[in-house]
Structure 1
Amino acid sequence: MSSAALEKRDGFNSKLGFILACIGSAVGMGNIWLFPYRMATYGGAFLLVYLIFDVLIGFSGVIGEMNFGRRAKAGPIGAFGEAAASRGEDKRKLGQIVGALPMLGALALAIGYSVVVGWIFKYTVGSFTGSVLAPADPAGFGAAFGGMATTFGNNMWLIIALVVTFAIMTLGIAGGIEKANKIMIPLFYLMFVGLAIYVGFQPGASEGYKWMFTIDPKQFANPMLYVYALGQSFFSLSLAGNGTVIYGSYLSDDTDTVSSAVLIAIFDTLAAMLAALVIIPAMATTGAVLSESGPGLMFISLPYLFKAMPGGQIVMIVFFVAVLFAGLTSLVNLYEAPIATLQDNLKFSRPKAVVSIAVIGAVVSLCIQGIVSDWMDFVSIYICPLGAGLAGIFFAWVWGRKAVEDEVSKGHGKPIGSWYYPLYKWLFCGLTMVVFFAGIAFGGIG
């Protein structure tokens, strides 16, 4: 990439803005509708194993993908191309072709996620009007969600979600994404802390805490505990060879990516724990069993639960506004990789790139509303871990040890220790393959 192109490239104005953007990318529906279910299923044993994987993946994959993007000053296509070109300029094109996979994966995941954010928009507004709480029983809540989650079932709110998302993105990295995350991410945490405190004062909440933090040694003999803990950590940290790579490409050389990765992993885990501290004790207050995850938990079980709680409408308003912030911050990250690709490789202006991807996103997401679950499963099972694994291979194995250690050491104050490279090259790349094959075997693990 020419020096002139680099000078024109947008970027983050501050380390805080970058960290909040990465936290926004990581904090999403997996933290809110999957982590609490797994905590409720396996108890404290799940939390312990999950934290171990979080440390391993955070110190390897998150740091690696950030630096892969920063070294290339480009998104997936450019980064893969630069890595391949280090072995000979004639190999650049092959690298770019391989890099198209995680870029297209980001676009496909963003399209599916757009549908989900459209649902959240509808439920957020419905929380204020009270319409979401209108059904009398779980069957009624299920019917209301089922009527929305069908082919062309939520067109207006989906379009609104996309308009808000691309309005943020039109303003660029510093002017749009960074500023939006500086507002939405702190508010997300404040709202969930408030909800956790409120739920904690409800009668019976202590039973939820007891289950969450009790470690049953027998759970450690269950292999699925390790499979799901690995999947939860991997997907929650948004490793797919796209989003973290593209955000890393906007970093200056004086940013310490090691400390940044630590903060991102900590706050991502904190978001998941806050969701669990709201949902599991809330279920315990009514004697309900947390028996489902995913959209059924968020759009059926929780609204029914909130309806029965004192001040239920206010609780629901705070909950869905916070979830909306989490959804939007993840969505802008997913769309950034294809937008940056048009800017970097086809020399589109920022507005033209945003409009082009917005049209594709709108048309496809409107059409897949009835099959979004299968769409998301395919992308998360096959594309995301494969993209993360390929990014690890191209940075660690193709670009090589010197490139990795030199880049990670920038901004760190001292050279990265000899521990990092083998951790990234062997452990992280190996874990991505485990996630890939386990996802296929079990129909998805994250």
Structure 2
Amino acid sequence: MEKKRDGFKSRTGFVIACIGSAVGMGNIWRFPYMVSDWGGMTFLIPYVLFVILIGATGLIEEMALGRAAKGGPIKAFGKCTEVRTGNKRIGEVIGALPVIGSLALAIGYTVVVGWIFKYTYLAITGQLSDMGHDMDAIGGMFGSTATSYGNNLWLVIAVIVTAVIMAFGIAGGIERANKFMMPLLFVLFLGLGIYVFTLPGASDGYKYIFTINPKGLLDPRLWIYAFGQAFFSLSIAGNGTVIYGSYLSESENVVSSARNVAVFDTVAALLAAFVIIPGMAVGGAELSSGGPGLMFIYLVNVFNGMQGGKIVGIIFYICVLFAGMSSLVNLYEAPIATLEERLKFKRPVAVLSIAVVGCAVALVIQGIVSGWMDAVSIYICPLGAMLAAIMFFWVAGKDFAISAVNKGNNKPIGKWFMPLGKYVLVPLAFIALVAGAMLGGIG
């Protein structure tokens, strides 16, 4: 008799956990930069269109696939090939790729979350505000952190906190942690946005956000980068959303769940943009860099020149910490669940095993984490998303897919769902893979 699987206690808990997995560094250190770089609403228009498309196809598909298989990518892909051919082995072999990708991305993300733990501590203790506008000191602090073996203590702390959350299971650990972190993140970010709104000079940032350049919409690269941002922001990679979906009750509605995740992920990204872009305007600085440089160098300087900047910095880094932790938990879940499913490890043993491996590798790659993350996000993540979509829409077929989606749905999903998944989502995932390889990353 198969052991009863852990799961989310409620649809709200599931949705909040999925929001937590989607809201991450891409929302905070890349989205505001892309909005600034491509001209405000000029970027937001295609971005929102792609969020709607991916939310209506990829998110629904991965949630429904995981729930139908009651397992992670290996079991889910195996289920699809079993439906088609009666043989689950080939699907299980292919399904190992998204699990490996999830672990690889989690390891790189562990390094970044270690940085965030350190900067949250530095903000709370006042060490960041004490640097003032000394860019040599600010840049030097990050330079010494983001180097080989430069942040060992905080990286280990990040792993320990993550492991403790995950050891308590889905309902007791992941759901409970996200129910605490996500609402607080939104409230704190909203408070930051309101405060920045009151500062002199912020209006220039808002004007820029709401600017639209019709000619810019004709640039194919804008659409490629907007798609990449939406694609990666919604955590479509054939792993995290699949495994979270496997813990969802069959009576829950995956269509409305996917919609809620897409909406709140976009709201989080917009909140970050409405804090960072006007904040940079207040400080008289250009948003000239995305990535770690924005969060750990340029914004430190801006906060230090802002009225109430010390408090702003503390709240900001707490928000970033919650976003990072919720995503990290999701990334580690697929490999942990794989050890439980395939090797019959007990939950604490699986968590400890993955935590030890993740921590050991993360410590070693600190000096090359940027290249590590690029390789995973450019190649493995879009490939995982494409494989999951192919398995669901093409291999398992219409009867399986529609049945999986409609369980718990108040009304049958529209006839648009299968053609959109087969003929739009799958090719776009392939484009994300090729464009990412050609352009050095698009999300």
Q: 2:139 aligns with which of 139, 142, 145?
A: 142
Match of 1:41 in 2: 37
Match of 1:285 in 2: 282
Match of 1:22 in 2: 18
One-letter amino acid of the counterpart of residue 391, structure 2: F
Within 5 A, what are the aligned runs for 1:330-345? 330-345=327-342
Separation of aligned partners in 1, 2:370 and 2:331: 17
1:131 positional shift: 1.3
CA contact 1:306–1:312 (8 Å) conserved in 2: yes
Within 5 A, what are the aligned runs for 1:386-425? 386-425=383-422
Q: 2:96 is paired with a residue of what secondary structure?
A: helix
CA contact 2:13–2:179 (8 Å) conserved in 1: yes
1:85 positional shift: 1.3
Match of 1:214 in 2: 211
Deviations along 1:82-103, whole A, 9 cap, x unmatched?
11111334x3211111000000
Deviations along 1:21-52, whole A, 9 cap, x unmatched?
00000000000000100111122110011000
Match of 1:329 in 2: 326
Separation of aligned partners in 2, 1:31 and 1:413: 32
Match of 1:98 in 2: 94
Match of 2:48 in 1: 51
1:415 positional shift: 1.8
Indicate whether 1:133 and 2:125 are aligned. Answer: no
Match of 2:255 in 1: 258
Separation of aligned partners in 1, 2:215 and 2:292: 30
Q: 2:350 aligns with which of 348, 353, 365?
A: 353
Q: 2:148 is paired with a residue of what secondary structure?
A: coil
Q: 2:175 aligns with which of 160, 173, 178?
A: 178
Match of 2:370 in 1: 373
Q: 1:445 is paired with a residue of what secondary structure?
A: coil
Indicate whether 1:296 and 2:275 are aligned. Answer: no
Match of 2:185 in 1: 188
CA contact 2:239–2:334 (8 Å) conserved in 1: yes
1:126 positional shift: 0.5
Within 5 A, what are the aligned runs for 1:431-446? 431-446=428-443
Indicate whether 1:269 and 2:263 are aligned. Answer: no
Match of 1:116 in 2: 112
Q: 1:131 is paired with a residue of what secondary structure?
A: coil
CA contact 1:381–1:444 (8 Å) conserved in 2: yes
Q: Give unpaired runs (5+ residues) of structure 2.
A: none
CA contact 1:406–1:415 (8 Å) conserved in 2: no
CA contact 2:84–2:397 (8 Å) conserved in 1: no
Separation of aligned partners in 1, 2:429 and 2:325: 26
1:132 positional shift: 2.1
One-letter amino acid of the counterpart of residue 134, structure 1: D
1:75 positional shift: 0.1
Separation of aligned partners in 2, 1:16 and 1:214: 36
Q: 1:415 is paired with a residue of what secondary structure?
A: coil
Deviations along 1:347-378, whole A, 9 cap, x unmatched?
11101100110110010000000000000000
Deviations along 1:109-137, whole A, 9 cap, x unmatched?
00000000000000001101111233342
Deviations along 1:298-324, whole A, 9 cap, x unmatched?
000001100000111100000000110
Separation of aligned partners in 2, 1:32 and 1:388: 22
Separation of aligned partners in 2, 1:52 and 1:432: 16
CA contact 1:46–1:225 (8 Å) conserved in 2: yes
CA contact 1:128–1:317 (8 Å) conserved in 2: yes
* Of 33-42 and 373-382, the range deviating more from structure 2: 33-42
TM-score relative to the length of structure 2: 0.98
Q: 1:414 is paired with a residue of what secondary structure?
A: coil
Deviations along 1:204-236, whole A, 9 cap, x unmatched?
111100010111112112222101100010000
One-letter amino acid of the counterpart of residue 23, structure 1: I
Separation of aligned partners in 1, 2:130 and 2:438: 40
1:424 positional shift: 1.1
Separation of aligned partners in 2, 1:232 and 1:102: 19
One-letter amino acid of the counterpart of residue 34, structure 1: R
Q: 1:244 aligns with which of 241, 244, 262?
A: 241
1:286 positional shift: 2.3
1:240 positional shift: 0.3
* Of 267-276 and 407-416, the range deviating more from structure 2: 407-416
CA contact 1:107–1:335 (8 Å) conserved in 2: yes
Determine what percentage of the aligned residue pairs are the same residue.
59
Equivalent residue pairs, number:
441
Indicate whether 1:165 and 2:145 are aligned. Answer: no
